[in-house]
């Protein structure tokens, strides 16, 4: 795919959604960090239901750490893998308090040093909370990048690096949100909704499907 196509793809995505947002509910960088940590192998809807109960009671590292693993588990037990997630979040809160004064760090290295925080989670926090030009490649973004030809790659890291390189600079900060929403609602895994796709004429996918 050439640069002109990529530019037009993101121009259209921007035109349709000038201010894209994550579908996770949060109001502070710490709330976002917790929500993204909880979202692994879970839906945003499910996470939002749990944090809607949790955050009014505890939404700082100090307050959540005070709940302990068992206390936190009660709020998030509707989420998959909640036991291990509760342990990770409690330990992450301890480290945030001890190492960072209760503040969420703004570097990938410091974020990835927290339990339960991998590269993807760190990239989401850096991009969404701190507006850094990072690219968190989840299953939707990996699929869209490969299927359309925007940034094909065999691994998540390869796709991430290509997106950082190839996405037009003016659109890089919000590209993560546009791609994830496009993959979630249009370029779906089982049957892409090509007939409803804003960028179908620019997409290089060879097996385009008609909408029902």
Residues annotated within a binding site for [4Fe-4S] cluster: 187, 194, 197, 203
Establish whether 161 is a catalytic residue.
no
Considering the candidates 138, 165, 174, 212, report the single residue annotated as catalytic: 138
Considering the candidates 49, 120, 154, 208, report the single residue annotated as catalytic: 120
Closest CA relative to residue 177, chosen from 108, 209, 129: 129
Q: Would you list which residues are annotated within the binding site?
A: 187, 194, 197, 203
Establish whether 138 is a catalytic residue.
yes
Q: What secondary structure, in 3-state letters, does the chain show? A: CCHHHHHHHHHHHHHHCCCCCCCCCCCCHHHHHHHHHHCCCCCHHHHHHHHHHHCCCCCCHHHHHHHHHHHHHHHHCCCCCHHHHHHHHHHHHHHHHHHHCCCCCCCHHHHHCCCCCCHHHHHHHHHHCCCCCCCCCCHHHHHHHHHHCCCCCCCHHHHHHHHHHHCCHHHHHHHHHHHHHHHHHCCCCCCCCHHHCCCCCCCCCCCCCCCC
User: Catalytic residues, which ones?
Assistant: 120, 138
């Amino acid at each position: 795919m050439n640069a002109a196509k990529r530019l037009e793809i993101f121009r259209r995505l921007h035109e349709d959604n000038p201010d894209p947002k994550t579908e996770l509910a949060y109001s502070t960088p710490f709330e976002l960090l917790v929500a993204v940590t909880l979202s692994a192998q879970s839906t945003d809807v499910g996470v939002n239901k749990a944090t809607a109960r949790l955050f009014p009671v505890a939404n700082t590292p100090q307050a959540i750490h005070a709940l302990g693993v068992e206390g936190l588990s009660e709020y998030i037990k509707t989420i998959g893998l909640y036991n291990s997630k509760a342990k990770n979040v409690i330990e992450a809160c301890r480290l945030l308090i001890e190492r960072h004064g209760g503040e969420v760090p703004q570097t990938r290295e410091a974020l990835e040093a927290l339990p339960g925080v991998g590269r993807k989670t760190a990239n989401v926090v850096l991009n969404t909370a701190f507006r850094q030009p990072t690219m968190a490649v989840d299953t939707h973004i990996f699929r869209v990048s490969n299927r359309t030809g925007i940034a094909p790659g065999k691994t998540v890291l390869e796709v991430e690096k290509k997106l950082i390189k190839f996405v037009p600079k003016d659109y890089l900060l919000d590209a993560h949100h546009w791609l994830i929403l496009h993959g979630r609602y249009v370029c779906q895994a089982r049957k892409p909704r090509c007939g409803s796709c804003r960028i179908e004429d620019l997409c290089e996918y060879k097996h385009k499907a008609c909408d029902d």
